[in-house]
Amino acid sequence: MRRIAVRIRHMATGLIRLPFRFVLFVCGMISIVLSNAFRAMQVFIPDAHVNWLIFSAALVLVGGLTVIVALLPNSWLNKACKVGPTAQDHWSMPIKLLGCFAGFSYLLIVALRFIPSSWHPAAQVVYLLCPACVLTITIDPSIASVLLVLAPLNAAVYGSLGTLLGCFLLAVRNRC
């Protein structure tokens, strides 16, 4: 038990701080939970013109990798990204990309709420832009539910994607 406490303290003082790890973990878990909603839709609405399995697999992949990044020790992340122990500011790129992707997707979903229904975007386009919209497949959500439920869930999914992209770009930049 003491060994686990020492590791948690070490994780909190490393390159990726404990609050950022917690945010990554939550974002990854939200992506995984939303993937289960897509799998459920495959059972309940199998003849829809949406490939539920692809959306589910993509969300599990993004969420799972984000949870792994959140739980990996700093030494492993440093080796994977070729970051030295003194480089404290290198992890600013994944953090900034998490914020940018999350903020942009939040605003996009709020804007999507105001698109006229006469446009009739394809279901696959809607689910690509807003994975959380699978939760409202049979209802038209109110602006309050968009602002308080759909947009934050969507921001978590795209925040996970932004973090993974930031980690990938960090690893590629430091290897070249």
pLDDT in tens, 111-170: 888 888 778 778 788 888 889 888 887 677 888 888 999 999 999 999 999 999 988 888
- Please, what's the b/e burial string for 77-91 (b: 16 or more CB within 10 A of its CB; e: otherwise)? bbeebebeeeeeebb
> How do the domains of the chain map onto residue ranges?
2-175
How far is residue 128 from each of residues 15, 69, 146, 158, measured CA to CA in Å? 32, 23, 16, 11
What is the predicted pLDDT for the residue at 114? Answer: 85
Widest Cα–Cα separation across the chain: 61
What is the predicted pLDDT for the residue at 2? Answer: 67
pLDDT-derived band at 52 (thresholds 50, 70, 90) equals confident
pLDDT in tens, 10-48: 554 554 578 888 999 999 999 999 999 888 887 777 777
CA angle in degrees (0–180, nearest 5) for 122-123-125: 70
